[in-house]
Structure 1
């Protein structure tokens, strides 16, 4: 299968075999079912073969004897190459069955001349001659595969754009986004999925128990039982002291379901999640983020995006009312944007970011409607513990955002503890904190302010005042989770790529665009802007 990927696209081979990234989409599952569904009434044999001489292994799914000789059969769900008088096998398919034939020859000690490929979409069987040229093609492909395995950088995107449209790793490779930069296209053809279909399961009840029944997760809470197919769950988030059985943990691990533990107040504790990608990706990340100038370049872009979005939001929020009281803040933010582009160190950038944050939180009390009630008006920014109800909801929302971005970073295959802007001064992962700066405003702050003005939160029912601070009650947490999850499903149009996607997908897109900054396709990260 690896040689098949190599002949199809060298970038695909590198992602699958070197970086160990594999995504099973609908087409992949269809191919697996096809290989399993051999015709009834026919006798087939399947052999696992290896060749020390060639240095490859492979599983031949279909073998038949004809006229006293073995013939390798391969099944494909598509159609053959019809360019010409007769249907032909595609080059990648031809290479695959030729390699299988050579493995079989070495095992049996005989010479075989032919293999066959069944294309089910057109119900045609194509004969593939295995001559000396085919054998030489296999040897060259193996040599090229060994060369690619030694590389630290990804091969370029294939020039054949049609191959990308059906590739299962298009959402990882982002080929059209790279081509857009190279060719100055105004819009990238959409290959990146708009949203994620798997849901997040939140557990707030301290007496809850998450177990397993077959291929389903079962949640027992407050004398009720709910069942969820493992294939429909993307992550489990436990706030407080809910329990998870070992059997449920095993099911989650096998189905790439992340489990996150947070305190009752929403502060992140830890996760159990399997990452993707090999060591090569982390080596590239470490080497790139060790360069101070490179980190400063990324940080400038990040802080500029955050401050620019803050200014855009204040302009949008105040355009229908009196803006006089906001003019000093808007002018200060505009001046900061010019200064950010000239910042000569990360410390200077942090100073500019802090000044912008003070302007934003200074403006927040004036953005809260009088109908929301005096109790919901914030007094600056306070945390650990929050001193008012607005900050309690804000801190809880930031905790949800941190968890979601940590899950994304690990799923993409980057090292979350190695960032470019934040420093490793606490248990929080710097790279996750870096990415949070892009999404605090559009994903947490904007929807929270709108919800407060709609009087979604009740000051007495949704918050618990204590001597040390104010926390959200379970009812308030459920409202904040609903608000957060609803926001993640909302779509926005990317200002550079010019296609729409949900904020949940935007987490992954920005993380992958960040990786491209040190993988040969820069200048797309942190271009997210609100309207």
Structure 2
């Protein structure tokens, strides 16, 4: 079993990372702010004006610690990693299957089953825990509609058909998402999902957290030898990690959506932690970003019972386990890919 390791997020502008022995050293204005042993890290994510020494990059590549560079507001720029691991036969099988329309549709069906089922569970939990505070009838109708979408997935025989079902399910899910915001409703209005750029604080939080999720899933896929760029639901596009986006679908509701709702409802983030640019895009201030990063890391440390393995694991290991199950499916060791469905 892969050990659950932390991700080091560096958000302080002007920070510089270097190597000292077996540790990663973070300096700001030539003053040491942090020392982290490299064996405790699974990855490093640098936001904005953050520098790294060439020696550290080579050291991290040798130790299989990926370094990712994002813009200050979370847009992916580049990553530094060591030699790709994994059996070339596994990747060849991945590529062959991606060229098969029927297999791609079957794989997309597994992925979307996990996503829609988990969206449904998020709404069902809200009904169970907060029925008196929300428009319960509207949520019940949406839960029933998502159930019909799950049934429709079984009849879908093409990627276009499955994407249509997924689009309908996502629209209905996000149409009631504001009902799950129980506190600070005036400060955090939500009408619809929007991105590039996000136009309100809720979408800003969701988009940023989805970026973190893609980073972790991409690393998990590479760790088992799969190519994160070649997906089944998300088809090939230069610069897009299609398979990472595929696998992310089943984790969106369970990890990111619930995390964002908790941050708002527990008042860990507030309206003053956001700003609107001249273009209309809503951005986070540094303190809000740090709060989200810390909460995301804490979420990954929580324990759950994996529905397929029947074992207790940390949330952060889910990405590696699902990547491993996908690799086993492609090798022919499993009859199907078991998506993560949280109960």
TM-score, L = length of structure 2? 0.94
Matched-pair contact (CA < 8 Å) for 2:300–2:315: yes
Which string of whole-angstrom CA distances, capped at 9 and with x for unpartnered residues, describes residues 266-296 of structure 1? Answer: 1212211122113222112112222211111
What is the aligned partner in structure 1 of residue 72 from structure 2? 264
1:524 Cα offset (Å): 5.4
* CA drift at 1:262: 0.8
2:269 maps to 1:464: no
The answer as to 2:153 corresponding to 1:340 is yes
Cα deviation, 1:428-485, whole Å, max 9, x if unaligned, reads: 210010011011111111111112111110211x212112210111111111111111
1-side partners of 2:49 and 2:335: how far apart? Answer: 43
Q: Give the structure with higher Rg (CA).
A: 1
1:313 maps to which residue? Answer: 122
Alpha carbons of structure 1 residues 502 and 524: separation in structure 2 relative to 1, 3 Å: farther
Match of 2:190 in 1: 378
What secondary structure sits across from 1:220 in the alignment?
A: strand
Residues paired across the two proteins, number: 336
SS at match of 1:449: helix
State the partner residue of 2:12.
205
1:473: which partner in 2?
A: 285
Q: Equivalent residue of 1:269, what SS?
A: strand
- Residue 211 of structure 2 corresponds to 399
User: Among residues 252, 255, 273, which one is paired with 1:440 in the alignment?
Assistant: 252
How many Å separate the matches in 2 of 1:338 and 1:290?
A: 26
Contact 2:122-2:254 at 8 Å conserved across structures: no
Query: Which stretch of structure 1 is more off in the superposition, 465-474 or 214-223?
Result: 214-223
Kept in 1, the 8 Å contact 2:146–2:169? The answer is: yes
Matches within 5 A, 1:86-101: none
Between the aligned partners of 2:188 and 2:170, the Cα distance in structure 1 is 19
| 2:109 aligned partner | 300
Say if 2:29 is the partner of 1:216: no
Partner of 2:53: 245
Q: Structure 1 residues 523, 307: closer, same or farther in 2, change over 3 A? A: farther
From 301, 325, 338, give the equivalent of 1:513: 325
Over the residues paired in the alignment, what is the CA RMSD in angstroms?
1.5
Deviates more, 1:270-279 or 1:385-394: 270-279
Helix, strand or coil at the partner of 1:310: helix
Conserved? CA contact 1:376–1:389, under 8 Å: yes
2:294 counterpart of 1:482: yes
1:33-79 Cα deviation digits (max 9, x unpaired): xxxxxxxxxxxxxxxxxxxxxxxxxxxxxxxxxxxxxxxxxxxxxxx
Alignment of 1:39-188 (within 5 A): none
- Rounded to whole Å, the distance in 1 between the matches of 2:15 and 2:340 is 39
Question: What is the TM-score with the length of structure 1 in the denominator?
Answer: 0.61
Q: C-alpha separation between the residues in 1 aligned to 2:176 and 2:340?
A: 23
Q: Which of 143, 166, 179 is the aligned partner of 1:330?
A: 143
* Paired residues of 1:372 and 1:452 also in contact (CA < 8 A): yes
Q: Unaligned 5+ residue runs, structure 1? A: 1-191
Query: Any gaps of 5 or more consecutive residues in structure 2?
Result: none
Equivalent-residue separation in structure 2 for 1:246 and 1:300 (angstroms): 43
CA distance in structure 2 between the aligned counterparts of 1:330 and 1:377, rounded to whole angstroms: 22
